[in-house]
């Protein structure tokens, strides 16, 4: 992973490959990548890829691939509300060799970290990290920190710099609607294994 501010690598099997959109005549495709965990569970992660990359590496459903690129965010209108969505933007695709799910982010905290304890007694801190990229754009990445790191991250200041390492995960949950109906949704976030406060270097 060469990008020093936002670099992701995930390996798995392709499912649901389809055309997403076109920008200035260039087509972009999306697919879900089933990534195995150390447990029997799987993360199913969204990937976006340009047709230019596909011309060099044609894809098919069921293929095992390694995707390297960036975790990016965008706003999408869902159920009448604008929601933050995440996708791994592919910069390189090749044949997968083993299980890979890793990410490095360097950015700034945009909200006060929220510390909590789950019903099972696990300590968790939720963070939202803004990562700058080219053309004055930023990606807003939800991150979740565990255990001793959760207590450490709880004291971080809004606007402070942070560098973190972890994995990208998918998590299903139920959203209660006003009419009492419950909808199943999927959240994507970075599960942090290591982090540093006020890292040294250029943003």
Q: Please choose, from the candidates 194, 202, 183, 167, the residue with its C-alpha nearest in 3D space to the C-alpha of residue 83.
A: 183
Distance CA 132, CA 79 (A): 29
Mean of all residue pLDDT scores within the chain: 90
H-type helices in the chain, by residue range?
Answer: 51-56, 147-154
Distance CA 66, CA 97 (A): 7
User: pLDDT, tens digit, for every residue of 134-180?
Assistant: 888 999 999 999 999 999 999 999 999 999 999 999 998 887 777 77
Backbone angles phi, psi at 37, to 5 degrees: -95, 175
Q: Please choose, from the candidates 189, 196, 195, the residue with its C-alpha nearest in 3D space to the C-alpha of residue 126.
A: 189
H-type helices in 64-178, by residue range?
Answer: 147-154
166 with 192: CB under 8 angstroms?
Answer: yes
With cut-offs at 50, 70 and 90, classify the pLDDT of residue 199.
low
Q: Which residues contact 114 (CB under 8 A, 6 or more apart)?
A: 125, 126
93 with 59: CB under 8 angstroms?
Answer: yes
User: pLDDT, tens digit, for every residue of 7-25?
Assistant: 999 999 999 889 998 998 9
Distance CA 42, CA 40 (A): 7
Distance CA 156, CA 55 (A): 44
Q: What is the length of the chain?
A: 203
């Amino acid at each position: 992973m060469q990008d020093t501010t936002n670099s992701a690598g995930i390996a798995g099997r392709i499912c649901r490959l389809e055309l997403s959109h076109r920008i200035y005549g260039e087509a972009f495709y999306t697919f879900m990548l089933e990534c195995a965990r150390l447990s029997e569970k799987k993360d199913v992660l969204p990937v976006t890829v340009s047709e230019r990359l596909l011309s060099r590496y044609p894809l098919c459903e069921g293929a095992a691939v390694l995707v390297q690129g960036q975790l990016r965010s965008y706003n999408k209108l869902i159920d009448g509300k604008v929601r933050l969505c995440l996708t791994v933007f592919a910069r390189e695709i090749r044949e997968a060799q083993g299980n890979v799910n890793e990410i490095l982010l360097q950015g700034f905290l945009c909200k006060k970290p929220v510390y909590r304890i789950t019903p099972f007694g696990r300590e968790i801190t939720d963070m939202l990290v803004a990562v700058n990229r080219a053309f004055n754009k930023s990606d807003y990445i939800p991150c979740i920190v565990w255990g001793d790191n959760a207590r450490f991250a709880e004291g971080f200041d809004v606007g402070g710099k942070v560098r973190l390492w972890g994995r990208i995960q998918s998590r299903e949950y139920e959203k209660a609607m006003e009419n009492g109906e419950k909808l199943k949704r999927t959240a994507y976030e970075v599960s942090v294994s290591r982090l540093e406060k006020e890292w040294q270097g250029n943003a």
